[in-house]
Amino acid sequence: MAQKPKMGRGAAQKGGNPPKHTQFRKGTSGNPRGRPKGSKNLATYLMEAARDQVSAAVGGKTRAISKLQATTMQLATKAAGGDQAAIARFLDWIDEIETRAASAKPSQFPFSASDTEVIQAIHERMKQCDPEKEREE
């Protein structure tokens, strides 16, 4: 039977638990003070940067617009100029925005005709059971 090679000092060990003196004590957190109040995440920093104002010449006049608006205008200009990568990215963004808008907006009549009949029947039965309506009549 083959013997396992002995690991010397400094050799990398795999698996197992860390030494007891370096493990967290029971009942105490590994991050006792927690996340500092007011700290921001990546999405917050990105949106702040996108909202920063820059000056841009639009229609021959210098205007202050957001970086997001300037980037969108540059992408649209490149796409209109025939840049294939810009065209693909621009159309992908437009498609995604339209898809989100369509899914967020409910359809005008979300119920089928049979659903509407059931709802009307339930409404009529509920009106018959309403005690306040009987007192008024």
Res 10: pLDDT: 56
- Choose between 59 and 92: higher pLDDT: 92
Give me the pLDDT at residue 91, please. Answer: 93
- Residue 98 sits at the vertex; the CA angle it makes with 95 and 102, to the nearest 5 degrees, is 135
When pLDDT is averaged across residues 31-48 and rounded to a whole number, the result is: 88
Please indicate whether residue 39 or residue 9 has the higher confidence score (pLDDT): 39
Does residue 40 belong to any structural domain of this protein?
no
Question: Can you tell me whether residue 10 is helix, strand or coil?
Answer: coil
Domain with 74, as residue range(s), is: 54-104
Round to whole Å and give the CA distance between 23 and 30: 9
Residue 67 belongs to some domain of the structure: yes
Residue 58 belongs to a domain: yes
Residue 76 has pLDDT above 80, yes or no: yes
Instruction: Confirm if 75 and 89 have CB atoms less than 8 A apart.
Output: yes
What DSSP line would sit under 61-79, residue for residue? EEEEEEHHHHHHHHHHHHH
Query: Looking at the domain assignment, is residue 75 inside a domain?
Result: yes
Average pLDDT, stretch 79-95?
94
Convert the pLDDT of each residue in 105-125 to its tens digit: 766 667 788 888 898 999 888
pLDDT (0 to 100) of residue 11 = 58
2-6, 23-27, 45-49, 115-119: lowest mean pLDDT where? 2-6
Report yes or no on 31 lying in a domain: no
DSSP state of 59: T
Does 86 reside within a domain?
Answer: yes
- For the ranges 27-31, 80-84, 96-100, 115-119, which has the lowest average pLDDT? 27-31
Consecutive H or E run containing 99:
helix 84-104
Domains in the chain, number: 1
